[in-house]
Amino acid sequence: MDENQAVRLAQQGDQEAFSMLVKAYQNRVFGLAVNVVHNRETADDLAQEIFLKAYLSLSKFRFESEFGTWLYQIAINHIRDYLRKHKKEKNELRLEDIPEPGLPEKEASLQLAEQQEAERRKKLLRQKLEEMPDKYRLILSLRDIQGLSYEEIGKILKISPGTVDSRLHRARRLLRKKLAPFLSQGGGRP
């Protein structure tokens, strides 16, 4: 069954058809949410809420765009609403710093140091992304993390591909500028 057939069946109340759509898009919707809010539990909640909104709004889908584009628009609007409501909250995703069992002590400490350095870099990147305006953070996530084309991003954000290109260029330049002081200090150490 192709996607449009699944959408039509889901619009008629077919739960299995909607489940197929959820399975097809759940990783992408969750990935978008986690890349913006940086918290797996919150992203999971957001993804569930996004699919609920999509289900409740399914009758409004008119096949004027692809289902994925329509779903991303719902996702972005929902995530933006969440960010506005929770602007002051700081959610940190913490990784476990436990070395694998059975490693010699020297290897375990080297692994721990590498994990800590990787976490420090991720934290720095998340922090600098958090400082960026939402429109830049979203476009970086859609293009560089989700891998969407300029045309898809344009449809989702309701802007032209040329605007996507210029906004993406500005977002990358701003991110490089924010990270430059840290990257120029000996291998990225702040």
Classify residue 77: in a domain, yes or no: yes
In a domain, 152, yes or no: yes
The pLDDT of residue 22:
93
Q: How many CB atoms lie within 10 A of CB 27?
A: 10
Q: Is residue 91 part of a domain?
A: no
Domain assignment of residue 92, yes or no: no
- 3-state SS class at 140: helix
Confidence of residue 112 (pLDDT cuts 50, 70, 90): low
Residue 189 lies in a domain: no
Q: Tokens 């959408």, residue?
A: 7
- Kindly indicate the confidence band of residue 109, based on its pLDDT and cuts at 50, 70 and 90: low
Q: Are residues 79 and 119 in the same domain?
A: no
- Which structural domain range is residue 26 located in? 3-85
Query: What DSSP string runs through 42-76?
Result: HHHHHHHHHHHHHHHHGGG--SSS-HHHHHHHHHH
CATH number at residue 171: 1.10.10.10
Structure-token pair, residue 161: 């591909």
Number of Cβ within 10 Å of residue 160's Cβ equals 12
For residue 133, tell me if it sits in a domain: yes
What CATH number corresponds to the domain at position 8? 1.10.1740.10
Q: What Cα–Cα distance (Å) separates residue 53 from each residue in 48, 74, 86? A: 9, 8, 19
Instruction: Identify whether residues 24 and 60 lie together within a single domain.
Output: yes
pTM of this structure: 0.63
pLDDT in tens, 54-99: 999 999 999 988 898 899 989 988 988 898 888 755 443 333 333 3
When divided into structural domains, the chain yields a total of: 2
Is residue 159, in this structure, part of any structural domain at all? yes
Looking at the fold, whether 11 and 76 belong to one and the same domain comes out as yes
Quick: pLDDT tens for 141-181. 888 888 889 998 998 888 999 999 999 999 999 988 888 88
Are 71 and 118 contained in the same domain? no
- Dihedral angle of Cα 42, 88, 134, 94, to the nearest 10 degrees: -40
